[in-house]
């Protein structure tokens, strides 16, 4: 049996729906349910995550606007430094670019998200952008290693070094230096605003994108919008403590997606199953999800009328 730490999302209906589907696979999975609790993850939750090595986490918003998002708190507590957002179309979810196939790799420990803000004089706030060579090298090496492992051919470094010559200049130079060590993976670069324009015109120009924290957050959601939006936005968070967290893409989401659309969490579970070496179970679940939606049973946020429970039941019937 394979144990997984389970953190329910704000919508318990979505979590129950995905558990219903996973039980239908009979893939030898067990779940240690841990509630997030307050603003910080509990010691019991962290101990469970470190023991199992895999966390399946539903979409959670911060309880109060002045708190950091639960996924951010969990990343910090578990030493997570990289976020992966696979971008590709899914049968049954309308998309502008259903044949897109891009992987966004985002550094998650520093940049302006280091949250070093202060009021220098009344009415003037300053936010520090932190860029270290060590973090740049770590995320670049992770991006090229991931590209090589997944048979990808090119990594594009995303930056704004034409303006932020020192901080983004360091990110660009460091990633280029690392890329020179990988003769089997091409390396190029693109300024972030030009990248966004090129992505919305033709995302198939790109293969793997490696980004700093802020640009990666923005680019990943832009890319998700190209292949169906919130219903198709699974996210993988990889840490130094050998813990991987699988979750829907975070940020502000439509109310309908939070309450009645378990697809993104289900797609995250597919990615989890593949990483666990359960390719057959992953293929079965992905096929059942797509077949169900193509047959017309879809959650509200994916363009249908089904509740999370109705959708899960329909998917599970195809797994029998």
- Per DSSP, the chain holds a count of helices (H) and strands (E) of 11, 12
What would the mean pLDDT of 99-117 be, rounded to a whole number?
94
Helices 213-226 and 192-201: crossing angle in degrees, nearest 10, is 10
269, two tokens: 């579970």
Query: Do 68 and 274 meet the contact criterion of CB atoms below 8 Å apart?
Result: no
What would the mean pLDDT of 106-132 be, rounded to a whole number?
94
| Sequence ranges of the domains in the chain | 1-80+243-320, 96-226
Mean pLDDT across the chain: 93
Q: Tell whether the model's pLDDT for residue 188 goes beyond 80.
A: yes
In this structure, which topology does domain 96-226 adopt according to CATH?
Answer: Isopropylmalate Dehydrogenase (3.40.718)
Q: Tell whether the model's pLDDT for residue 64 goes beyond 80.
A: no
Which pLDDT does position 138 carry in this prediction?
98
117 CB neighbour count, 10 Å cutoff = 10
In this structure, which topology does domain 1-80+243-320 adopt according to CATH?
Answer: Isopropylmalate Dehydrogenase (3.40.718)
User: What is the Cα–Cα distance from 314 to 110, expressed in whole angstroms?
Assistant: 42
Which pLDDT does position 68 carry in this prediction?
83
pTM here is: 0.94
Q: Tell whether the model's pLDDT for residue 256 goes beyond 80.
A: no
Domains 1-80+243-320 and 96-226 share a fold: yes
Residues 6+ apart with CB under 8 A from 297: 304, 306, 310, 311, 314
Which pLDDT does position 248 carry in this prediction?
93
Helix (H) or strand (E) holding 238: strand 234-239
Of the given ranges (19-33, 51-65, 157-171), which has the lowest mean pLDDT? 51-65
């Amino acid at each position: 049996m394979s144990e997984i730490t389970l953190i329910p999302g704000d919508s318990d209906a979505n979590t129950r729906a995905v558990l219903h589907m996973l039980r239908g696979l009979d893939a030898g999975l067990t779940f240690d349910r841990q509630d997030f609790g307050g603003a910080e993850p509990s010691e019991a939750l962290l101990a469970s995550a470190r023991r199992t090595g895999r966390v399946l986490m539903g979409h959670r918003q911060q309880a109060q606007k002045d708190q950091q998002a639960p996924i951010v708190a969990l990343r910090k507590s578990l030493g997570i430094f990289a976020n992966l957002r696979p971008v590709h179309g899914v049968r049954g979810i309308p998309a502008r670019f259903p044949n897109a196939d891009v992987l966004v790799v985002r550094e998650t420990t520093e940049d302006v998200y280091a949250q070093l803000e202060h009021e220098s004089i009344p009415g003037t706030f300053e936010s520090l952008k932190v860029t270290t060579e060590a973090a740049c090298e770590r995320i670049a090496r992770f991006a090229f290693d991931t590209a090589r492992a997944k048979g990808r051919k090119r990594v594009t470094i995303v930056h704004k070094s034409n303006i932020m010559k020192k901080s983004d200049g360091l990110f660009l130079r460091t990633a280029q230096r690392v890329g020179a060590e990988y003769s089997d993976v091409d390396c190029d670069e693109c300024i972030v605003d030009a990248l966004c324009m090129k992505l919305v015109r033709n995302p198939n120009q790109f293969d793997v994108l490696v980004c700093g924290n802020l640009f990666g957050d923005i680019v990943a959601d832009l890319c998700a919008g190209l292949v169906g939006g919130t219903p198709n936005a699974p996210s993988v968070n990889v840490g130094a403590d050998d813990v991987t967290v699988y979750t829907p893409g975070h940020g502000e989401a439509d109310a309908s997606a939070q309450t009645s659309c378990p697809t993104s969490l289900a797609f995250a579970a597919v990615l989890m199953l593949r990483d666990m070496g359960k390719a057959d179970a992953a293929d079965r679940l992905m096929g059942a999800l797509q077949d169900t939606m193509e047959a017309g049973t879809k959650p509200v946020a994916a363009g249908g009328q089904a509740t999370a429970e109705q959708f899960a039941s329909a998917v599970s019937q195809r797994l029998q």
